[in-house]
Amino acid sequence: MTFTEPLLSVVDLTMTFPGRRRSAPVRAVDGVTFHVAAGETLGLVGESGCGKSTTGRMIVRLLEPTAGSVTYDGRDISHLSQRELKPLRQDLQMVFQDPHSSLNPRQTVARIISDPLLVQGGSAADARKRVAELMELVGLIPEHIDRYPHEFSGGQAQRIGIARALATGPRLVVADEPVSALDVSVQAQIVNLMDRLQRELGLAYLFIAHDLSVVKRVCDRVAVMYLGRIVEIGPKERVYAAPAHPYTRALLSAVPLPDPAAERARERITLHGDLPSPAAPPPGCAFHPRCPKAQEVCRTGTPALRRMEPGAARQVACHFPEAA
């Protein structure tokens, strides 16, 4: 494998939100490191409060990280000003979870999709033509260009959100739970659409989701987060076939399979307790209070994200990882 500069590198990324009044500050993301190559999809999975959305928002710089760096195409963008960010916004786009609340109800589809183009200095006439092309690209009927968001179903509205993200020809799209608000029968349409767009346009995705089955379908590599940290990252085939972190194992075994016979035959690892609050994470390995394998060292030492073996693509942050 030849070494190529990744499109996006995130190193030791940290976000600390100040606590309200007397409460302690919340470290939502704590030293996250990964990279995304051009044209690749990295899945970021974890349960609510694990910091996956905050990570995504720092990458598109809707949030400014408190520590660490985001390097896009060789340039550190972690502390750029809004003015300096503006040209970069063509390259870095985002798709949100709830299609209806992320589209302005008082604007037509034409206006919504052309906004990014106009902001970047395009002319109104060109923009309208481009909107029609984009609508066609994402499977909408271009004649609907002057309709309002409420006239579209959830799946169609998400297509509008995707068209808006693609308007400026980005190379990296951060998709934050893009299908979780959609009905099952429509989810598959959007997953297929995102797949096709990636192939046609050479997009890289950071795909943030809690649904492990969806992530498995769309991603090349997957990173599992727990309480602000990555606990395991690696090629999807390896992570899903032989999860090394006990949390990944538990997470995978908790997903209900749509197959009654397999469900009955299955051995499940049920985690006890709830996710601890990120405002007061447990000492040592944050997962130790729920971990079936926890030992003394887990209560005191925070495990670093390490390669499973020298040169291995998979990294895991556990004192006692499962053998690969």
Partner 1 sequence: MGAPEPVLSVRDLTVTFPTPHGPVRAVDGLGFDVRRGETLGIVGESGSGKSVTSLAVMGLHTGASVSGSISLGGRELTGLPERELNRLRGRKMAMIFQDPLSSLHPYYTVGEQIAEHHRVHFGSGRKAARERAVEALAEVGIPDPRRRAREYPHQFSGGMRQRVMIAMALVCEPDLLLADEPTTALDVTVQAQILELIARVQEERGLAVIMITHDLGVVARVAHEVLVMYGGRAVERADVDTLFAVPAHPYTRGLLDSLPRLDDSDDEPLRAIPGSPPSLLAPAPGCAFAPRCPRLADAPAQERARCETELPLLDGPAGLPQVLDSSPKLSASFEQGGPPCTGGTPMVACHFPAYEGVAP
- Does 285 engage in binding with partner 1 (CB under 8 A)? no
Instruction: Give the C-alpha separation, 271 to 294, whole Å.
Output: 12
Closer residue to partner 1 (CB): 196 or 306: 196
Four-point Cα dihedral 45, 5, 72, 88, nearest 10: -120
d(C-alpha 141, C-alpha 94), whole Å: 22
The stretch near partner 1 (CB under 8 A) out of 6-14, 58-66, 166-174, 181-189 is 181-189
Report how far residue 105's alpha carbon sits from residue 23's, in angstroms, rounded to the nearest whole number: 37
Which of residues 261, 310, 311, 323 is near partner 1 by CB under 8 A? Answer: 261
Interface with partner 1, residue 214, by CB under 8 A: yes
Place of tokens 């538990």: 250
Instruction: Examine residue 240 and tell whether it contacts partner 1 (CB under 8 A).
Output: yes
Site for partner 1 contains 183 (CB under 8 A): yes
Cβ–Cβ < 8 Å for 186, 24: no
Contact 215, 204 (CB under 8 A): no
Task: Using the rule CB under 8 A, give the single segment among 2-10, 36-44, 187-195, 295-303 that binds partner 1.
Answer: 187-195
Q: Which stretch binds partner 1 (CB under 8 A): 21-29, 93-101, 170-178, 266-274?
A: 266-274
Contact with partner 1 (CB under 8 A) among 67, 80, 88, 186: 186
User: What SS3 state is found at 174?
Assistant: strand
| Separation CA 203–CA 298 (nearest Å) | 39
Terminal alpha carbon distance of the chain: 22
Angle between helices 184-201 and 154-166 (to 10 degrees): 20
Contact with partner 1 (CB under 8 A) among 106, 272, 309, 323: 272
Does 74 bind partner 1 (CB under 8 A)? Our answer is no
Among 89, 100, 128, 217, binds partner 1 (CB under 8 A): 217
* Position among 251, 286, 316, 317 found at the interface with partner 1 (CB under 8 A): 251
Q: Is 280 in the site for partner 1 (CB under 8 A)?
A: no
Stretch that binds partner 1, among 19-27, 148-156, 165-173, 278-286 (CB under 8 A): 148-156
Using CA atoms, how far apart are residues 208 and 223, in angstroms rounded to an integer? 10
Enter the DSSP assignment of 151.
G
Residues that bind partner 1 (CB under 8 A): 47-48, 153-156, 183-189, 191-192, 195-196, 210, 212-214, 216-217, 240, 250-252, 254-265, 268, 270-272, 274-275
